């Protein structure tokens, strides 16, 4: 089949496609594993419409597994567009992508080079906000990334100082609420949301054995919970 004929065939398929299990099966190559993963994704989104599955989600195993599959489909789509897929796999891959592109808001991942540029723009915006005196949640990773693009701290705030500031906030939270279970997401309280993200950072650092003994000891003294929330 010529490339033009293949494109025409795909256009016809797209026009007829409705997202029922029967039509999805009929539109794609017999690939039981891929179809199982597709239905798992559809089921997940039906149950969790506001959650975007991420392959690095440490607190939700199902979301992480689906996120890995989404990443694989994104890589496949990028390879098809670049023309680097094996000739015998082109039609199969194109039909899979066609199905996914017909889904509302499928969370395609950006290619590596686009992600790098996007991250660079995010860091520049973050640096701009920090320089203007706006509140910025400084994780160790963010500090390193900002310094990697040559950002110079106009107001010296070391990683240690940033950590101590959040620790003091957690102590205040403990005094007010009697526990350290800071919510990860809050409605309009950016300071509390920032503290909740910091708590998760400490849990992850401890899990990865990258949290210093001194910091772990201080957190233990106030009854810090080390298990990641589900």
Q: Write out pLDDT tens, residues 65-91.
A: 898 898 888 888 888 887 878 887 888
* CB contact set of 70 (below 8 Å; sequence gap of 6+): 41, 53, 55, 106, 107, 108, 109
Cα end-to-end distance, the chain, whole Å:
50
Q: Is the dihedral of CA 85, 86, 90, 93 positive or negative?
A: negative
Phi first, then psi, for residue 169 (nearest 5°) are: -65, -40
Distance of CA 135 to the CA centre of its chain: 22
Minimum mean pLDDT among 79-88, 128-137, 192-201, 221-230: which range?
128-137
Give percent above pLDDT 90 in the chain.
Answer: 11
Q: What is the pLDDT of residues 141-163, one digit of tens each?
A: 667 666 666 666 654 456 777 88
Under DSSP, the state recorded for 108 is P
The per-residue pLDDT for range 174-198, each reduced to its tens digit, is: 999 899 988 876 666 777 888 888 8
Calculate the CA 123 to chain-centre distance: 17
Q: What is the largest CA-CA distance in the chain?
A: 71
pLDDT at residue 55 is higher than 80: no
Q: How confident is the model at residue 218 (pLDDT cuts 50, 70, 90)?
A: very high
pTM: 0.42
pLDDT recorded at residue 135:
60
The helix (H) or strand (E) run that includes residue 200 is helix 190-207
Helices 159-177 and 190-207 cross at an angle (nearest 10°) of 110
Q: Tell me, what's the pLDDT at 185?
A: 67
CB 92 within 8 A of CB 31: yes
């Amino acid at each position: 089949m010529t490339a033009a004929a293949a494109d025409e065939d795909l256009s016809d398929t797209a026009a007829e496609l409705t997202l029922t299990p029967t039509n999805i099966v009929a539109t794609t190559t017999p690939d039981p594993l891929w179809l199982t993963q597709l239905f798992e994704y559809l089921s997940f989104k039906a149950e969790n419409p506001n959650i975007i599955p991420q392959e690095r989600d440490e607190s939700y195993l199902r979301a992480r597994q689906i996120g890995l599959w989404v990443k694989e489909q994104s890589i496949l789509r990028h390879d098809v567009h670049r023309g680097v897929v094996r000739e015998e796999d082109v039609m199969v891959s194109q039909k899979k992508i066609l199905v996914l592109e017909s889904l509302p808001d499928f969370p395609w991942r950006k290619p590596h080079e686009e992600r790098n540029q996007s991250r660079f723009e995010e860091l520049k915006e973050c640096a701009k906000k920090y320089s203007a005196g706006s509140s910025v949640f400084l994780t160790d990773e963010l500090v390193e990334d900002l310094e990697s693009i040559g950002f110079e701290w106009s107001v010296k705030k070391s990683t240690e100082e940033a950590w101590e500031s959040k620790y003091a906030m957690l102590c205040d939270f403990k005094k007010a609420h009697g526990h350290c279970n800071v919510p990860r997401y809050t409605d309009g309280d950016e300071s509390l949301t920032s503290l909740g993200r910091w708590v998760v950072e400490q849990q992850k650092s401890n899990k990865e054995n990258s949290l210093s003994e001194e910091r772990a000891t201080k957190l233990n003294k106030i009854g810090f919970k080390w298990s990641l929330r589900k």
